[in-house]
């Protein structure tokens, strides 16, 4: 069965520090992978997506993610975090032939000034 695991429930980083949020998926074929961000009181906003091709994808707000098939991972990174990046981040997997996404449980990011 498809599944998505975000092992870190909470992460705290200092402003200006680098960030990596982990995402592991379970799916037999090549998945479609997404990262969304949710600010308080808001809906989910798409940061980036991977379907095929280059395994390093660039997104909005300076985020990037790397698809590693051998590790079944799609980790989100940002070289220098800003206070406005404090939010909850969700990884999701969708698969060809289905229009449903499986969402991870989210990682809540706190940024220290």
Partner 1 sequence: DAGVIQSPRHEVTEMGQEVTLRCKPISGHDYLFWYRQTMMRGLELLIYFNNNVPIDDSGMPEDRFSAKMPNASFSTLKIQPSEPRDSAVYFCASRGQGANQPQHFGDGTRLSIL
- Residues lying near partner 1 in the complex (CB under 8 A): 32, 34, 36, 41-46, 49, 51, 90, 94, 96-97, 99-101, 103, 105-106
CB of 97 to partner 1, least distance (A): 8
Give 13 or 101: the residue with its C-beta nearer to partner 1: 101
Distance CA 75, CA 66 (A): 6
Residue 53 CA, chain-centre distance (Å), reads 18
- Cross-strand partners of 3: 26
CB of 53 to partner 1, least distance (A): 11
Distance CA 66, CA 84 (A): 23
Give 71 or 105: the residue with its C-beta nearer to partner 1: 105
Give 81 or 102: the residue with its C-beta nearer to partner 1: 102
Distance CA 75, CA 97 (A): 24
CB of 110 to partner 1, least distance (A): 17
Distance CA 86, CA 76 (A): 14
């Amino acid at each position: 069965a498809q599944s998505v695991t975000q092992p870190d429930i909470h992460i705290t980083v200092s402003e200006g520090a680098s960030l990596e949020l982990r995402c592991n998926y379970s799916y037999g074929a090549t998945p479609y992978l997404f990262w969304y961000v949710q600010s308080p009181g808001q809906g989910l906003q798409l940061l980036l997506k991977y379907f095929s091709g280059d395994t390093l994808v660039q997104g909005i707000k300076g985020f990037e993610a790397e698809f590693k098939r051998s590790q079944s991972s799609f980790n989100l990174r940002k070289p220098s975090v800003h206070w406005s990046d404090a939010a909850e981040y969700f990884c999701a997997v969708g698969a060809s032939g289905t229009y449903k996404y499986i969402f991870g449980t989210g990682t809540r990011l706190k940024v220290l000034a």
